[in-house]
Amino acid sequence: MTTIPDIRPDYDVANYDVSKIAPYTLEDPLTFCDGTKVASPADWPRRRAEILDIFAKKMFGQEPPKPATMVTEVINEKDGAAAGFAVRTIYRMWFKEDKSGPYIDWMVIRPRHAKTPSPVILFLNYTGNHQLLQDEDIPIPDTWCRTTEDKKLPPERGLYQKTDNRAVFPIGILLSAGYAVMTACYCQVSPDPDMAEPDPKFSQENFAYTGVFDLWGKRDESRDDNPTALGAWAWALSRGLDLAERIPEIDAKNNIVTGFSRLAKAAVIATARDERFQICVADQCGGGGITLAKRDFGENIGTEVKMFQHWYCKAYKQYARNPAQLLDFDQHLLAASIAPRKLLVTGFNSPWFDTEGEYLSCKAASPAWELFGLPGFPNVPYPDTYDTSAIGPYLGYFRRTEDHGLAAYDWWQLLKFAGN
């Protein structure tokens, strides 16, 4: 029987002492699992597929299948939304011809006076489309929500238009920059119950695997690589892009996918799996996203699989006791799989999120872009807050102070990066 190294008996407790980070080595993005080297860009699709297979088998579970059917219907539209500058449309998306089963409501906001199809920004939101705009005509879905006592989406409209909120949605600026925006509430995709949920009918073990999971049949609990919640949210982002391709006023090939926290993780996974996504901006995604797991600082595998067991497949648990020695992959490979497309990673100064681990991950992923003769990650030391010297034209990183959320500053950096 193999003995598992156990340097940290308290492996499900966050480490905030830099001196306790165990030595670790990172796999070369340009070396195949059999030890051979990626010799040219022609080899990259095979190496990229190998990386995605690693994450499917060992961390995020297998990618859910594409829907056999996708039916969309306009539920509500307003010409002259957002102070008159936009056309705002609610599309309901079903995955069965008879419009039964799970569905997702996508809100599309596009520049009203655009002369040509608009590039698009896609993201999932946490508490409903109605919280993004002051618009009484946006329906509030009767959907479970993890942040309210009654488990329903909060009724407050336009919350993200408040400039003092920790997350904002500057729709006027995005429209002025020429972008359309698409968003849907992640609660409609699959619910995301807390570990401490007292009501058993809302447990992570069962309730988390409802919503779009109902499309994929009964889960085989003997497998350790079943689809996960993070994979389901990523799947939904790809379905949003499917819808964008059907809307004549949107240039779906010119797109940005974003999100913050767990929904930034989903954006990264979606970009890794779906090559149609051209630019990914991952805000404060922390452990399980871009941050190096082998560093074992702040949020770690032990806390992740304990608190968010539905985010990761069962196979990921085997690395929790000693990531530095047990892991044979790390998050820099996930970042690298996005090359040669564009990736911007943003952090903030919460030790739980280990934003220095995000910086180091980007640095280790850089050879994938350099393989294509592109500028990789800028050769700069770990930057101070608001120092943008680590943002290159294809791969970049910055961090800021303030709170957790998509702040106006983050949206501004997104637009700058997309324009490089």
Which tokens is 106 given? 């996508």
Give residue 1's pLDDT: 47
CATH 3.30.565.10 fits 71-338+357-364, yes or no: no
CA–CA gap between residue 187 and residue 213 (Å, rounded): 12
User: Which amino acid is residue 298, in one-letter code?
Assistant: G
Q: Read off the pLDDT of each residue in 16-26 and give the average, rounded to a whole number.
A: 96
Look at 1-15, 113-127, 376-390 and tell me which has the smallest mean pLDDT.
1-15
Model pLDDT for residues 232-265, shown as the tens digit of each residue: 999 999 999 999 999 999 999 999 999 999 999 9
The predicted model scores a pTM of 0.98
CA–CA gap between residue 213 and residue 14 (Å, rounded): 31
Is pLDDT of 75 > 60?
A: yes
**Which residues contact residue 286 at a Cβ distance below 8 angstroms, ignoring those fewer than 6 apart?**
261, 298, 299, 352, 353, 354, 358
Average pLDDT taken over every residue of the chain: 96
Residues 167 and 407 sit within 8 Å (Cβ to Cβ): yes
Domain ranges of the chain: 71-338+357-364
**Which residues contact residue 72 at a Cβ distance below 8 angstroms, ignoring those fewer than 6 apart?**
91, 92, 93, 94, 243, 246
Q: How far apart, in Å, are the Cα atoms of 112 and each of 2, 83, 184, 187, 419?
A: 63, 11, 20, 29, 22
Start-to-end C-alpha separation, the chain: 53
Residues 105 and 92 sit within 8 Å (Cβ to Cβ): yes
Model pLDDT for residues 36-65, shown as the tens digit of each residue: 999 999 999 999 999 999 999 999 999 999
Model pLDDT for residues 120-132, shown as the tens digit of each residue: 999 999 999 999 9
Residues 332 and 293 sit within 8 Å (Cβ to Cβ): no
Tell me the DSSP string of 273-334: H-TT--EEEEES--TTTTS-STT--BS-HHHHHHH-TTTS-GGGGGGTT-HHHH-S--HHHH
CA dihedral of 335, 338, 342, 348, whole degrees rounded to 10: -20
- Which of 267, 187, 183 has its CA nearest to residue 231? 267
Q: Read off the pLDDT of each residue in 328-347 and give the average, rounded to a whole number.
A: 98
Is pLDDT of 401 > 60?
A: yes
Residues 110 and 183 sit within 8 Å (Cβ to Cβ): no
**pLDDT-based confidence at residue 298 (cuts at 50, 70, 90):** very high
Residue 406, Ramachandran bin (φ over 0: left; ψ between -120 and 50: alpha; else beta)? beta
CA–CA gap between residue 60 and residue 269 (Å, rounded): 9
**pLDDT-based confidence at residue 2 (cuts at 50, 70, 90):** low
CA–CA gap between residue 283 and residue 286 (Å, rounded): 9
CA–CA gap between residue 311 and residue 304 (Å, rounded): 8
**pLDDT-based confidence at residue 3 (cuts at 50, 70, 90):** low
Q: In percent, how much of the chain has pLDDT > 90?
A: 96
